[in-house]
Amino acid sequence: MKPIKILAFSGSTRNASLNVKLLNLAVAATLEHGAQVTHIDLRDFPLPIYDGDLEAESGVPDNAMILRELLFAHDGLLIASPEYNGSVTALLKNTLDWCSRPSNGLDGLAPFRGKAVGLMAASLSPFGGLRGIIDLRGIMVKLGATVLSEDVALPIAQNAFDADGAFVDVNVGKLVHQFTSNLIGLSTKLQSSIDASRVEP
């Protein structure tokens, strides 16, 4: 069976972002499980704030089209995002809004349908960005993705990493390792189902 392909990105582009640190370690764990990972930085795909009039005038931006193609090319998504005011970041929401616009004769949800999604957050608070994860879970389900039942919410994250960017607590590392294994498992299950549906009777 072909290796599972995971697209990984953070809802934060801030320098020294705790969520980027968390994502880096999750990507490493995913690679250890034998999956292929494409790790992107959303700052490399700048997009205007979604505007229906702009879309009507100019169409879906090139960067959104590139991101849609990346979504199509992968079996699962690994997302780490901070919580802003109890929700997702404007960067992440805007990216998802543009990527879910119909284009090239395909409906807006096509890039997300059949995708497994693993959600993570790192936060300075004792709640670990959980409210943002809950909000993002609802968005991804609305987009037609299948979200892994468990998530990673890392509280007091400013104390979670050592000087080399590794987890201070080995148990957190074990949790992330299992989480990424489960994401690959869900991705495999969904892709097997999709492949089976394509087999002619």
Mind giving me the DSSP string for 22-79? HHHHHHHHHHHTT-EEEE--GGGS--PPP-HHHHHHH-S-HHHHHHHHHHHT-SEEEE
Question: For residue 34, what are the domain limits?
Answer: 5-198
pLDDT of residue 197: 73
Q: Model confidence at 198, in pLDDT bands (50, 70, 90)? A: low
The DSSP code for 10 is E
60-101: per-residue pLDDT in tens?
999 999 999 999 999 999 999 999 999 999 999 999 999 999
Q: Model confidence at 199, in pLDDT bands (50, 70, 90)? A: low
Domain CATH for 34: 3.40.50.360
Nearest to 75 by CA among 119, 35, 108: 35
105-116: per-residue pLDDT in tens?
999 999 999 999
Which string of DSSP letters, residue by residue, matches 112-125? TTT-EEEEEEE-SS
| Prediction pTM value | 0.95
Q: What average pLDDT score do residues 1-17 get?
A: 94
Q: What percent of the chain has pLDDT over 70?
A: 98
Q: What average pLDDT score do residues 12-41 get?
A: 97
Overall number of domains in the chain: 1
Per-residue pLDDT for 196 more than 90?
no
141-164: per-residue pLDDT in tens?
999 999 999 999 999 999 999 999
Structure token digits, residue 186: 């869900």
With 0-12 / 13-18 / 19 or more C-beta atoms within 10 angstroms meaning exposed / middle / buried, residue 181 is: middle
Q: Is 5 helix (H, G, I), strand (E, B) or coil?
A: strand
Q: What average pLDDT score do residues 160-175 get?
A: 97
Q: Model confidence at 201, in pLDDT bands (50, 70, 90)? A: low
Q: What percent of the chain has pLDDT over 90?
A: 93
**CA 151 – CA 166 distance, rounded (Å):** 19
